[in-house]
Amino acid sequence: MNTKFQSQILASALVLASTTVSLQPSFAASKSVTTAISASATSAVVSNDNALWDQVWKLLDNGQSDDAMAAVNQAIKTNSKNATAYVLKTIIMYTLKGDTSAMLEQVNIALSLDPNYADALYVRGNVYEAMSDLQSAVKDFDACVALNCHDVQALDQSTKIKFQLKDWSGMLATTNIAIANNKVGGYIYFYRAYAEYQLGQTSAAISDFKQAQTMFVAESDTTDAELVSKILTQLQAA
């Protein structure tokens, strides 16, 4: 593999990443991924409290973080098994730039109540990422994908972190899932092409870079379209 060209394409990938995939957590739980309420004779674990979610998110949007925290604390006081409340408490702490260990403690309570709570897994993945524990983060994002292959946010986060970890086989597998199950943007084809290139699958990489370029043009993303055009010129000349 041409080391100089590899460095050039890596630089291009980093530019593309900075413009297409946010490096900051985007806490917007997928309401299409909700888990059922599991009830016992005396109490219920709540993993889909959409009313609380909407209330807290509205308060956060209005800059009322203290009121948002009061709302989740009241929800926990009312039902200590409200997993949604612990997830929201973690999010509020994150917006306030709180201690990541304390955030992890709260979201872990949610997951102790419901281990398959996708929103909690997604939030914990972002907390791990903030702690620079990328291996744990990607494990949680992949768990989200295993629960729902249409979870585009988790797929994006998994792809981004595998890129950082240089896990090319894992990155290829994740982008394959994204493309097979969702309507994706050109950047996903770019990432798959990059993984294929790293794995020595040059023909497949060229095909996917071309697809990415076509999609960037259709999306009126001239900057990334030109970037991929330069990559293709160099790759086909190599």
pLDDT score recorded for residue 186: 94
* pLDDT at 87 > cutoff 90: yes
Range 156-180 average pLDDT: 97
- The beta-carbon contacts of 132-135 under 8 Å, at least 24 apart in sequence, are 134/161, 134/164, 134/165, 135/165
Instruction: Tell me 149's DSSP state.
Output: T
Dig out the tokens for 21 from the structure: 């995939």
Domains and CATH numbers, the chain: 1-29+152-238 (1.25.40), 31-147 (1.25.40.10)
Q: Is 14 a residue whose pLDDT tops 70?
A: no
Q: How confident is the model at residue 238 (pLDDT cuts 50, 70, 90)?
A: confident
Mean pLDDT of the chain: 86
53 versus 7: the higher-pLDDT residue is 53
pLDDT for res 161: 95
Residues present in the chain in total: 238
CB atoms within 10 A of CB 137: 24
What pTM was computed for the model? Answer: 0.84
Q: Are 174 and 159 within 8 A, CB to CB?
A: yes
pLDDT for 16 equals 54
Strand partners, 158: none
Q: Render the burial of 56-85: b for 16+ CB within 10 Å, e for the rest.
A: bbebbeeeeeeebbebbeebbeeeebbbbb
Q: What angle is formed at CA 228 by the lines to CA 227 and CA 229, rounded to 5 degrees? A: 90
Q: Which amino acid is at 131?
A: M
SS3 of residue 26 by DSSP: coil
How far is Cα 20 from Cα 95, in angstroms, rounded to an integer? 22
The larger pLDDT score, comparing residue 2 to residue 133, is at 133
**Over the stretch 17-39, which tens digit does the pLDDT of each residue have?**
544 433 333 444 444 334 334 43
Lowest mean pLDDT across 42-46, 58-62, 230-234: 42-46
